[in-house]
A and B are shown apart, each in its own frame.
Chain A
Amino acid sequence: MAGNPTQRKSDVLNAHVRAEIDDWLSRYPQDQRQSAVLGALRAVQHEHGHLTTELMDAVADYIGMPEIAVYEVASFYSMFELEPVGRHTISVCTNVSCMLRGADQILAHLEQRLGIRLGETTPDGRFFLKREEECLAACCGAPMMQVDHVYYEHLTPEKVDEILDSLE
């Protein structure tokens, strides 16, 4: 009610993101617009790198759901980042199969090589080491990690170095 209501919170979403959200919306019944929230958040994160409160409010406004309900979803799923993170997201699986096949060493190597701890981003903003990733359903290739959208399996420290070197 207060403020300048001629401006809407969803104004910060650009045309591209809107088109993508509209596409998600079109897949669900009219009265279940909130079903599109996952797709919408993914589109927004892809565009902006991470989800700020402002962006989440924009999604809530655009879809027409309570803001807190968007925060709930965004904070529940580990693929949503609520803080600024590095360009490349590295997720090392540390669940049972990978653990038995040496995931801990892989992780230790990554931390050492990048000079950061789990959950941190390198000072140059290049890599983000995601906290505690559980089984990514690639047990037969354990130990494994996911970098951005790509799976790398049968890892060794040397292989990890190669992969990192190949990234911008």
Chain B
Amino acid sequence: MSEDLVNIEVDGIPLKAKKGTMLIRVTDEAGIRIPRFCYHDKLSVAANCRMCLVEVEKAPKPMPACATPVAEGMRVWTRSPKALAAQKATMEFLLINHPLDCPVCDQGGECELQDVSMGYGEGISRYSEAKRAVKDKDIGPLIATEMTRCIHCTRCVRFGEEIAGLRELGATGRGEFMEIGTFVEKSVTSELSGNVIDLCPVGALTAKPSRFTYRAWELVQHASVAPHDGVGSNIHLHTYNGRVMRVVPRHNEAVNETWISDRDRFSYTGLGAADRLTAPMIREGDQWVTTDWETALTRVVEGLRGQPAEACGALLSPQASVEELYLAQQWLRGLGVRNLDHRLRQSDFSDQDRAPLFPYLGDALEALEQTRACLLVGSEIRKDQPLAGHRLRKAALGGARVMAINPRQVPFNFPVAETVSADPRGMVLALAGVARAALERAGRTAPEGFKALLQAARTDETVRAMAQALAEGEGARVLLGVQAHAHPHFALLRALAGLVCETTGATLGYLPDGGNGAGAWLAGAVAHRGPAGESLDAAGQTPDQWLQPGLKGCLLLNVEPDMDCEDPARVMKALGSAAFVAALTPFAGEALKRVAHVLLPVATFAETSGTYVNVEGRWQSVAGAAQPPGETRPAWKVLRVLGNMSGLEGFEYLSSEEVRDALKDRLRAAGVEGFDTVYRHDGASLAVPEASRGLQRIGAVGPYGVDSLVRRAAPLQATQDAGAHALARIHPRQARSLGLEEGDQVEVRQEGLSARLPLALDEAIPEGCLWLPVGVAATRHLGRSHGAVELNKV
């Protein structure tokens, strides 16, 4: 170790650093500031801006600190006359073509060029000739461009290549005519694209939805956590007069590093949606009338009390905070309502008792980078949890074998090894094939209950290679993704994944949907277990059982029943016939207005305090940042009052922290110390899924359909990703056999229900299947997300 360290001296200060480290890293760590534009901690070294020039002993010319590796005995001056002269000269060159109109630039006040020119620029420009002007590019709804301001640092280009894994931006032309852009008219489509806004040191790339609506120094910064996926990316909400004006990443190396997804960055644009609920409302006959909280809350308590508790249920959003979920289940169970759940998109609950207490990633997010083999099952990790996907990408670029068993071939932004795309039954048989191959390798026989499945398993080179990679790869893991959770045979996938892990030594991990999808288990937001996984006197039914005709009363916590649930047609029907439905919701969506009797306006994640437990089990508590509109109240307070009004004990909490601590106490009391995801099969016999006939519906929720807020974020809805997710997709051969063509308007029929949407031909879809988007308006009147469908041209 020590021979790796070298002694250098910077501005007279002796420093030790690892040999070969770039000088700028060493000085940054020592708190010695060297100006820079093109250098970025997380990107490769380009050394093209020359702003970081410093004087190095014995070097004839100033050297760029970002591209000069340290060596023993090196002596450096960052502010000597020679260094300063070089830095000032660079500054002057950079400003030759840069507009000097900071007052009308969106970046003004938080611009690296502006800052550095304060230190190194001259008050007067010696350049009086014409400056070059560059035409702006339209690269989509999220990023505004003002390319005349670009200083060609190429951070955005390197970001695309190195982090997003999608080379979309480039530097075309040369010299005076070099321009940054996409060259052709094209939107940037990466799910991480917004990060170039932060990376761009000048005002060339800015946030389209928010630019020119504030000045950076007017904003108040609040630490928060994004609730849209299980990573729980750390963010800063920037507010002005109590309104969220924009969202930027908050550095947390262990969680999101320094990036956030576009979803986390722009979801705030939905906060002020036109249908935002600002006061409690009750339904009088066919009319919705605004009322006061007192009246509305009384209605809710009486309304639910008026129904037999066993015929009541509750749907709780997996985006809700731990506090909200804990209080909701506490209150509902206090009322005797046992049917409550956050597993809104799940359809197979048959093995829920075998689920771990906390179905989480099984490891730290950072550990994903170290994996040498990873099998994704039903996971489009790149779009579902973009920053977990980013970790996996790093592993793959380092040589890890990333494999997938998915309903469709999804484009990865890194090299992948074996992939299988198959219909639901085919996915099960492929995973069974991996299990079988793993057992054969280990010289073991099939455990009790698995015989039939393994008999029917797929046996080919692909599944054998998967088994081998998992058995041999260090830190191997099998991850059950969002689509596995929604899979019609989730139990089989879990059992087989468990068997594969047990046999190969891989770790099983869960990547459910929602910012709190794993945390909800701890809070007791499942039908069959209480908080901290405590067993219940009597378990409730699962949503597929109680969301049926005969439902009498229902509570919805930030759930839009036609968008957020498996089988929206059945859910809407059940709710429609219920005598009393109350919704705690930030938005008064059309579906809620149709089925609910009381709407209570509750705060979004940006407007109240709460805790989210991410997929690695990290508890992240945040404070409210924005002013909730109108009469809106934090949901946890509403639930506490409902508890009080129902005459229940234990609803005296004064802060959300107290609620959180109460749950933590329950965990401690239950003796829960640490978690694992080891699957233990109880020997129950697992049946082979029946082969299906006809065209099979498959599909999943898209990145911009995951929750009520994201669905209202107009800029996200205008992206290509959202557009691509509004189509029915089918294999070209299948389309031909049905006489259908790209772009045809088609009618999908499913068990007496129908929907119309445009068709796309897509080789990624297995033959025999029709991919339908979930969580979009076009399919909200349909039923189950799986099963037979018919397809006709309109």
Contact = CB atoms under 8 A, between A and B. Distances in A.
Interface of A: 1-6, 53, 66-69, 71-72, 75-76
B406 to A, nearest CB: 13
A6 B171 contact: no
Contacts of B182: 68
Contacts of B760: 2
6 interchain residue pairs of minimum CB distance: A66-B167, A68-B170, A71-B183, A75-B172, A5-B763, A72-B170
A3 B172 contact: no
A67 B732 CA distance: 25
Given A68-B182, A75-B183, A6 B763 contact: yes
Q: Which of A4, A5, A68, A76 has the most CB of B within 10 A?
A: A68
B167 A68 contact: yes
A1 B411 contact: yes
30 contacts: A1-B411, A1-B724, A1-B764, A2-B760, A3-B742, A3-B761, A4-B732, A4-B761, A5-B761, A53-B183, A53-B184, A66-B161, A66-B167, A66-B170, A68-B167, A68-B168, A68-B169, A68-B182, A69-B167, A69-B170, A71-B170, A71-B183, A72-B170, A72-B171, A72-B172, A72-B183, A75-B173, A76-B172, A76-B173, A76-B174
A2 B173 contact: no
Contacts of B174: 75-76
Nearest to B764: A1
Contacts of A66: 161, 167-168, 170
Interface in B19-53: none
B544 interface: no
B173 A6 contact: no
A71 B761 contact: no
Contacts of A53: 183-184
B348 interface: no
A148 B173 CA distance: 22
Interface string B179-195: 00011100000000000
Contact of A5 (B168, B171, B173, B732): B732
B676 interface: no
A3 B763 CA distance: 9
B112 interface: no
B762 interface: yes
A114 to B, nearest CB: 25
Contacts of A5: 732, 761-764
Nearest to B741: A4
Contacts of A72: 170-172, 183
Contacts of A3: 742, 761
Nearest to B411: A1
Nearest to B175: A76
Nearest to A77: B174
Interface residues of B, number: 22
Contacts, number: 51
Contacts of B173: 75-76
Nearest to B170: A68
A68 B183 CA distance: 7
A99 B732 CA distance: 61
Contact of B172 (A2, A4, A71): A71
Interface of B: 161, 167-174, 182-184, 411, 724, 727, 732, 742, 760-764
A68 B411 CA distance: 18
A72 B179 CA distance: 10
A67 B724 CA distance: 21
A69 B727 CA distance: 30
A71 B183 CA distance: 7
Contacts of B727: 2
A2 B183 contact: no
A76 B173 CA distance: 5
Contact of B724 (A2, A6, A68): A2
Contacts of B764: 1, 5
A75 B184 CA distance: 12
B161, B170, B173, B742: residue with the most chain A Cβ atoms closer than 10 Å? B170
Contacts of A67: 184
Nearest to A78: B174
Contacts of B761: 3-5
By CB atoms of chain A within 10 A, which of B169, B183, B184, B724 has the most?
Answer: B183
B138 to A, nearest CB: 16
A68 B182 CA distance: 7
B183 A6 contact: no
A1 B762 contact: yes
Contacts of A4: 732, 742, 761
A69 B183 CA distance: 10
Contacts of B172: 68, 71-72, 75-76
Nearest to B172: A75
B419 to A, nearest CB: 14
Contacts of B169: 68
Given A1-B724, A53-B184, A66-B168, 18 more contacts: A2-B724, A2-B762, A3-B742, A3-B761, A4-B732, A4-B761, A6-B732, A66-B161, A66-B167, A66-B170, A67-B184, A68-B168, A68-B169, A68-B172, A69-B167, A69-B170, A71-B183, A72-B171
A6 B732 CA distance: 8
A143 B613 CA distance: 75
Given A66-B167, A76-B174, A71 B184 contact: yes
A68 B173 CA distance: 12
A138 B411 CA distance: 51
B413 to A, nearest CB: 12
A167 to B, nearest CB: 30
Contacts of B161: 66
A66 to B, nearest CB: 4
Nearest to A65: B167
A53 B185 CA distance: 11
A5 to B, nearest CB: 4
Nearest to A7: B732
Contacts of A68: 167-170, 172, 182-183
Contacts of A1: 411, 724, 762, 764
A141 B117 CA distance: 48
A1 B166 CA distance: 14
A113 B478 CA distance: 74
Contacts of B732: 4-6
A66 B167 CA distance: 6
A5 B182 CA distance: 22
A74 B496 CA distance: 51
Nearest to A68: B170
A75 B171 CA distance: 9
Nearest to A2: B760
B748 to A, nearest CB: 19
A9 to B, nearest CB: 13
A68 B139 CA distance: 14
A90 to B, nearest CB: 21
A72 B168 CA distance: 11
A46 B169 CA distance: 28
Nearest to B760: A2
A67 to B, nearest CB: 8
Nearest to A73: B172
Which of B172, B411, B764 has the most CB atoms of chain A within a 10 A radius of its CB? B172
B559 to A, nearest CB: 31
A72 B172 CA distance: 4
Contacts of A71: 170, 172, 183-184
A133 B385 CA distance: 51
Contacts of A76: 172-174
B68 to A, nearest CB: 27
B441 to A, nearest CB: 30
A75 B761 CA distance: 34
B156 to A, nearest CB: 12
A105 to B, nearest CB: 26
A4 to B, nearest CB: 5
Nearest to A53: B184
A65 B613 CA distance: 40
A78 to B, nearest CB: 9
B534 to A, nearest CB: 45
